[in-house]
Structure 1
Amino acid sequence: MSNIKSLQWRYATKKFDETKKVPEEKISMLKTSFNLTPTSYGLQPLKLVIVKDDATKKKLYEHSAKQQQILTASHILIFCIETNIDDNFIEENFKRIKEIRETPDEILNPFREFLLGDFRKRSQEEIENWAVNQVYLAIGNILNVCAAEKIDACPMEGFDAKKYDETLNLTEKGIKSTLVLPIGYRAEDDIFADFEKVRRPLDDVIIDLD
């Protein structure tokens, strides 16, 4: 499908077919797509947690306003932010750059020193808010990939992040849940699949400057 047809095909799936599972090769593709998401400064301050077992889904369902997507989806993708974005985190990024690109220190050091100084001035709240913005980039990227691959998805903010963190032991991993994306294949009786898309007129949202 073309990009536009893919975007017209997708919708926020409310009910998945529990009998249909996303193949592992597709999950592998989504993992790689997540890792290829562009992020500010290229720092990738996020991680993706993937849940597929029913027992864990049932626990998360209780902390997701009991939305049935959590129970019926093939997999639950949980987009998380790193909570320890410090000097070491930044230094590791530049270490990777040097190893992969063999970039000389004299080229890397000005940018490295800028980032270290900039993040040292930020509060923990400011850093986490910055990281959350990167999560939104990632979920947008994954939604587009899902649409292209005809994998249904439903982005969700309506969940108890603290309970998710407790249930999945995310705090001890140094991450916090931010957004949730159940994926799978739409159920035949999901009435939302046939709804017309409701969008503002194109000339109401686009400003062409001469």
Structure 2
Amino acid sequence: MPSKTIERLQWRYATKRFDSSRILSEEKLDILKETFNLTATSYGLQPLKLVVISNAELKAQLMPLTYNQPQVRDASHVLILCVEKKINENFIIDHFKRVEGQRNTPRTILEPFEKNLIASFSEKNSEEIKDWMINQLYLTLGALLTVCAVEKIDACPMEGFQPKKYDELLGLDKKGLESVIVLPVGYRDESDFFINLKKVRRGVDELIIEIN
């Protein structure tokens, strides 16, 4: 018998039609927010932000900016995963202040790591830093999709949208953010053709290499 987790992962699919009448509870939404907050990121820096949209009019405005895909209009909520426009010395210093405040770690221990990280990022160009941030974002996306499956929340990760127009409409550029992934979440419409299609995967035997 497969575990409950595997059963839920088999249950999930990239939902094409959402039931617009069904809304996520605050409890379910809080689980997704905490998942975003708790997901591992390199150095623990969390160079990301999550935008949560529930307003129906705003979701409708996003639809043409998502190549008229109806998921953003019909989903309970639209989550937009964003990266910071830049990571500078102050961003890193703020991180170590949090470590000091929340763990009571002495500055004498933290300071060498802080200086090391500042020096490391100073050697990277903006494109390298952006690529690194996007890698962290995809770690978070994977966690969100897994938790959605466990909680029986439907989701559809989407790269097919116009990021600059999203950023302009939502004022993300003014907040120093760039949108990368759109993730409508909610509950599937039972008329969705894709509900009962068998999952197509390469399989464990082909994908897994065990070295004993």
TM-score with structure 1 setting the length: 0.98
Match of 1:59 among 58, 61, 85: 61
Match of 1:48 among 26, 47, 50: 50
Measured in 2, the distance between the counterparts of 1:134 and 1:2 equals 27
Matched residue, 1:88: 90
Matched residue, 2:111: 109
Matched residue, 1:133: 135
- The yes-or-no answer on 1:73 pairing with 2:47 is no
Matched residue type, 1:103: T
Superposed CA RMSD: 0.9
Matched residue type, 1:76: V
**How do 1:22-37 residues align onto structure 2 when only pairs under 5 Å count?**
22-37=24-39
- The yes-or-no answer on 1:18 pairing with 2:8 is no
- The yes-or-no answer on 1:199 pairing with 2:212 is no
Residues 100-129 of structure 1 deviation map (CA, whole Å, 9 limit, x = unaligned):
111112211221111000001111111111
Measured after TM superposition, the shift of residue 136 of structure 1 is 0.3
Matched residue, 1:185: 187
Measured in 1, the distance between the counterparts of 2:122 and 2:107 equals 21
Matched residue type, 2:93: E
Measured after TM superposition, the shift of residue 187 of structure 1 is 0.3
Residues 3-37 of structure 1 deviation map (CA, whole Å, 9 limit, x = unaligned):
11110010000000010001111111111111001
TM-score with structure 2 setting the length: 0.97
**What SS does structure 1 have at the residue aligned with 2:22?**
coil
Measured in 2, the distance between the counterparts of 1:112 and 1:2 equals 42
How many residue pairs get aligned? The number is 210
Measured after TM superposition, the shift of residue 164 of structure 1 is 0.5
Measured after TM superposition, the shift of residue 59 of structure 1 is 1.3
Runs (4+) of structure 1 exceeding 6 A deviation are none
**How do 1:118-197 residues align onto structure 2 when only pairs under 5 Å count?**
118-197=120-199
Measured in 2, the distance between the counterparts of 1:133 and 1:29 equals 22
Matched residue type, 1:159: F
Residues 26-63 of structure 1 deviation map (CA, whole Å, 9 limit, x = unaligned):
11111111100100000000000011111111111011
Measured after TM superposition, the shift of residue 201 of structure 1 is 2.3
The answer for unaligned runs of 5 or more in structure 1 is none
Matched residue type, 2:105: T
Measured in 2, the distance between the counterparts of 1:204 and 1:25 equals 39
Measured after TM superposition, the shift of residue 84 of structure 1 is 2.6
Matched residue type, 1:14: K
Measured in 1, the distance between the counterparts of 2:70 and 2:61 equals 12
